[in-house]
Structure 1
Amino acid sequence: MSTLPLARPIQLIARQAIVDTQHTVVAYALYDRSTAHHLHDTGSDIAMLFNAMADTSNALGVQSKTLFINRTHQSLLGDHLDLTNPGKLVIEVDPVPGHAPEAIATLHTTLADLHRRGFKLAFNHTVVAPAYKEWQPLAHYVKLDMQAVPADMHKPLATAIKARTSAVLVAEKIETADQLASALALGAQRLQGYWIDRPEVVKTKIATPAHTNVLQLFNLVREQAEIEDIEALLKRDALLGFNLLRLINSAGFGLSQEVTSFRHAVMLIGMQRLQRWTALILTATRSGDATAIIGTTAVVRGRMMELLGKDRLTPEECESAFVAGLFSLLDDLLALPMDEALQLLTLPAPVVDAIQHGTGTLGRMLALTKAAENYDDVSFASLATELGYDSHHINMAHMDALVWADSIGL
């Protein structure tokens, strides 16, 4: 099947190291470097959070580090942060515009709740002002901008931060050796800036599955449906399954084990968090997306491979066969080169080898599935002989996969 790359909204996320006084990297600050207007509403702000955790975890190697992520005030009001591991995130919170007392008091309630739930909060030096007195006990980190703040104010502010909070002092925007020396003299315990590390930028894609499938998943979760029903729905939408596996294996989720099956992912995330995640995905989906045709083909491939392996493979291997077929068009679904697309997921080595190189049993099964799909008689006959399948068995698996895809509304 020949497909054209599809345009996708792109986010540019930058990573910058935060080090301790021994210059050991202890955390990374992540920043949205996108400039397009439509990428800066509340929905995309939330999308940036999950893309930052998931995409940059692999692309920029931050899995084992704490992540500093700036959140808009509006995005703090939702419950999407429950989908993350509080121990992995530091939420950077900007001052209230105009320092309005009512707004400071209102946001304090939200911040106090986040603090109670185990999230670490970071503020800039403004938090030592009297207007922010209620926020001061909530501060785990306070940042002092070595560039924007006049040099003669560095020591008074550092003294105030130590006196009014129990926070770790982070000296940021360090761009010279003199500023580094000054930060250390102030007692800064964390250091950040161009002199320490220049930000590295990665492009991330916002992947949006079919609206109808997300809506159905949301309803299944609300109705406390059986895991088998939820798993079946995830299997019929490649992007939906991709998003869930990417989330569950992200740095922000904080698992110590790799999750490669939909059933395992659903069991680990739990119904409450799955409902919240689905609601967030729902707000970002577009009906009538041109990826529908590609997605249908991917689902048919996955189902056909699952059927071909039914009498020959273990249940776990059959699951891998389905995943290999389902994600074999991930490059087209995300409009990314396949090697970059596969880096966004943690998949078993045989699945990756099958998709990228066509090797192993799954790789040859995938090649056979593609031959049946493209009516390539020469490759079909050769691969059928190699794998020991008769043409009737293969054709029935292909037909059953097409019927199955049609029966689930694709």
Structure 2
Amino acid sequence: MSTEHPPTPEPTSSAISMARQAIVNDSGSIMGYELFDRSVNADAHTASSDAQMLFNLLSLAEGETLIGKTLLFVNCTHDSLAGGHLDLVEPEHVVLEIPSLPASQVEQIALRLPTLQAIHTRGFKLAFDYSVLTRSYEDWLPLASYIKFDVSILKPPSLASFVQLAQVKTKAKLIAEKVETEIQYKQLKDLGVGLFQGYWFAQPTIIEGQTLRPSQAAILQLINLVRKQASTAEIEEVLKRDPTLSFNLLRFINSAGFGLRTEVTSFKHAVMLLGLKKLFKWAALLMTTSTGGGVAPAVGTTAVVRGRLMELLAAEALPPEECDHAFVIGVFSLLDSLLGMPMPAALANLSLPNSVTHALLYQTGPLADYLKLTLACENGDDEAFAKAAQALQLTEKQINWAHLQALAWAETLGQE
């Protein structure tokens, strides 16, 4: 076997600009920080921007300094709660701030409940605003670890009523935000509020840094090894050959969000601690945020949408291993565009199951119809859609739901 390797492409870099604001208890000790993305307007954050901010945090060498030993409060959209990026974070370190919906949207509020329950079961703490105390949100209330009261919106009589209601109906900790004067602080403390956030205590602190992104070829090589369940030694060898890839992995696994008590300094230890499933998700996330060779970021995102959609569709009828293969087919279906070479050449150096290569090269085999259906969803080809759906015995409702889930999941992975 040849020991020569092609030169590693130059990594790309991008600036990070975030801010954090302290949340303190009644003795002034910091118990957490709310994180803000300074590159996005406060009213315009999306699932994509929130996930990218969290991933940037995990990529910062200063992550431990940013979070410290405290909780991190992260704003979410409802779509981002289905995102794979949350699998990369230790729940004990993160509080997810869940936005409210208009109280009149009773059906939508009920539809969101299963997702919130699943996130809560995984160990994430949830924070809601005071709207959760109204009748429309009765089923959400037991999930609340924190309830936030915006002092700039609530007048003193309403604030007192909501705080009293929270004390009676829930065991959640109460946070007053946008506290700007000592008088407000004392009034809130007398009401029984125990946590505070606002300019009276601390203005947001700016955190800036750089991320380094490895080449997509290196990431795809890592993905390939993970998918064939290669040995730790084989994966370690790839990391040793690509400094940018290994740098990103060690910085991620040593970040505060990952929750380790001791620093990891060896690639072998990092791979063993992370495990193959998390390693794959981390690599997939890197792929969608890394660009090179003139390839648009949207190509990587489209590949991940295809993979997730095929995985969800296959889950209706196939065992987990075949669902994994379906994901690989979707992600690798744009490999020729990502690497700038014909598909046969792109697959030549990859060790993949026959069902995967046959679907990619010839659109044949047991998983080919899933790929055809996925492409039909993407292209709006009604005839191909109907034919593939019938072959797989899937309803339009099942397919549309899976497509929406796949789009939401890919959006949470973010893009430059």
TM-score normalised per structure 1? 0.65
Output the aligned Cα RMSD: 2.5
Query: 1:196 and 1:249, CA in 2 relative to 1: closer, same or farther beyond 3 A?
Result: same
More moved, 198-207 vs 16-25: 198-207
Q: Of the candidates 172, 178, 191, which is equivalent to residue 177 of structure 2?
A: 172
* Contact 1:249 1:255 survives alignment (8 Å): yes
- Superposition deviation, residue 57 in structure 1: 4.5
Aligned to 1:242: 247
- The 5 A counterparts of 1:88-237 are 88-96=93-101, 100-237=105-242
Identical residues among aligned pairs (%): 42
- Superposition deviation, residue 101 in structure 1: 2.5
* Contact 1:47 1:206 survives alignment (8 Å): no
Q: Which runs of 5+ in 2 are unaligned?
A: 1-9, 296-416
- Superposition deviation, residue 89 in structure 1: 0.9
- Superposition deviation, residue 6 in structure 1: 9.3
Counterpart AA for 1:31: F
Structure with larger RCO (C-alpha < 8 A, sep 6+): 2
Question: Which secondary structure does the structure 1 equivalent of 2:212 belong to?
Answer: coil
1:82 paired with 2:82, answer no
- Superposition deviation, residue 129 in structure 1: 1.5
- The 5 A counterparts of 1:1-400 are 8-35=13-40, 42-55=47-60, 57-58=62-63, 60-96=65-101, 100-288=105-293
Query: 1:106 and 1:58, CA in 2 relative to 1: closer, same or farther beyond 3 A?
Result: same
Question: Which secondary structure does the structure 2 equivalent of 1:34 belong to?
Answer: coil
Query: 1:130 and 1:279, CA in 2 relative to 1: closer, same or farther beyond 3 A?
Result: same
More moved, 241-250 vs 42-51: 42-51
- Superposition deviation, residue 19 in structure 1: 1.1
Counterpart AA for 2:216: H
Query: 1:101 and 1:239, CA in 2 relative to 1: closer, same or farther beyond 3 A?
Result: farther
The 4+ residue runs of structure 1 with deviation greater than 6 A are: none
* Contact 1:70 1:92 survives alignment (8 Å): yes
**Structure 2 Cα separation of the partners of residues 171 and 91 of structure 1:** 16
- Superposition deviation, residue 59 in structure 1: 7.5
Query: 1:202 and 1:76, CA in 2 relative to 1: closer, same or farther beyond 3 A?
Result: same
**Structure 2 Cα separation of the partners of residues 106 and 240 of structure 1:** 40
**Structure 1 Cα separation of the partners of residues 107 and 238 of structure 2:** 45
**Structure 2 Cα separation of the partners of residues 237 and 43 of structure 1:** 28
TM-score normalised per structure 2? 0.64
**Structure 1 Cα separation of the partners of residues 11 and 45 of structure 2:** 22
Query: 1:259 and 1:84, CA in 2 relative to 1: closer, same or farther beyond 3 A?
Result: same
- Superposition deviation, residue 8 in structure 1: 4.5
* Contact 1:51 1:204 survives alignment (8 Å): no
Counterpart AA for 1:68: F
**Structure 2 Cα separation of the partners of residues 253 and 7 of structure 1:** 24
More moved, 204-213 vs 272-281: 204-213
1:275-320 superposed Cα distances (whole Å, 9 cap, x missing partner): 1211211221213279xxxxxxxxxxxxxxxxxxxxxxxxxxxxxx
Larger Rg: 1 or 2? 1
**Structure 2 Cα separation of the partners of residues 167 and 36 of structure 1:** 29
Aligned residues: 285
- Superposition deviation, residue 176 in structure 1: 0.6
